[in-house]
Amino acid sequence: MTNETIISVLVSYLIGSIPFAFLLAKWRGRVDLRTVGSKNVGARNLARQFGWGWGAFGALLDILKGALAIFIAGNLIFQNPPGLYYAGAAAVAGHNWPIFLKFHGGKGLATAAGVVLALAPNAALAGAIGALVFLALFKKPIEAGLFGFFAAAASVPLFGYAQDIIWLTLFLFALALAAIAVERLTKRRDPSVK
């Protein structure tokens, strides 16, 4: 791994670690998301506390930080694959386990979507459509987001992207599952929240 790749991974991790939903909750209502609702510092818990408009804004910022990590790695640190993939994974890891919040983060779905959007926009669009269809049918947001990653990975060959994007997308899916598992195992979820 080159020095430039190490730098891009560190920068991407720090970008991913910016806890936008947490900061918005503090700014909007002096609420610490780690102590309310699901106790998750992601956009969904922000939406529970302040409405879906704020949640959507938090999710958009999380998507943008995933895309920003790829932009900086590619255009300022001059990374190509696989360095870009490492940067994307680092951004999602930063969201899930942010250094700024003692590694208490979100699930990483929106940040991962931003990474895929920056690397394979058509596949990301296919994933978003798949997630929305799943959500409309089953009304399960987290599962819909996870399904979206499978839809994105499945569409990669259709759009002629590098096959590595499939594996990256599935790896980002695994990072999201790991964050969900940690949340469940540490019993941070409020039993009253469905």
For residue 159, what are the domain limits? 3-185
Residue 60 in tokens: 């958009």
Do the domain assignments include residue 191? no
Tell me how long the chain is: 194
Do the domain assignments include residue 17? yes
Contact (Cβ atoms closer than 8 angstroms) between residue 145 and residue 114:
no
Which string of b and e fits 5-27 if b means at least 16 CB within 10 Å? Answer: bebbbebbbbbbbbbbbbbbbee
The number of domains in the chain is 1
Do the domain assignments include residue 54? yes
- pTM of this structure: 0.92
Do the domain assignments include residue 128? yes
Do the domain assignments include residue 15? yes
Do the domain assignments include residue 193? no
Do the domain assignments include residue 91? yes
Q: What is the DSSP string of 159-187?
A: HT--THHHHHHHHHHHHHHHHHHHHHHTT
Among 34, 96, 92, 26, which Cα is nearest to 63's? 92
Do the domain assignments include residue 194? no
Query: Along the 194 residues of the chain, how does pLDDT read in single tens digits?
Result: 899 999 999 999 999 999 999 999 999 999 999 999 988 999 999 999 999 999 999 999 999 999 999 999 999 999 999 999 999 999 999 999 999 999 999 999 999 999 999 999 999 999 999 999 999 999 998 899 999 999 999 999 999 999 999 999 999 999 999 998 887 787 554 444 44
Residue 191's pLDDT is 45
Secondary structure in 3-state letters for the chain: CCHHHHHHHHHHHHHHCCCHHHHHHHHHHCCCHHHCCCCCCCHHHHHHHHCHHHHHHHHHHHHHHHHHHHHHHHHCCCCCCCHHHHHHHHHHHHHHCCHHHCCCCCCCHHHHHHHHHHHCHHHHHHHHHHHHHHHHHHCCHHHHHHHHHHHHHHHHHHHCCCCHHHHHHHHHHHHHHHHHHHHHHCCCCCCCCC
Residue 187's pLDDT is 59
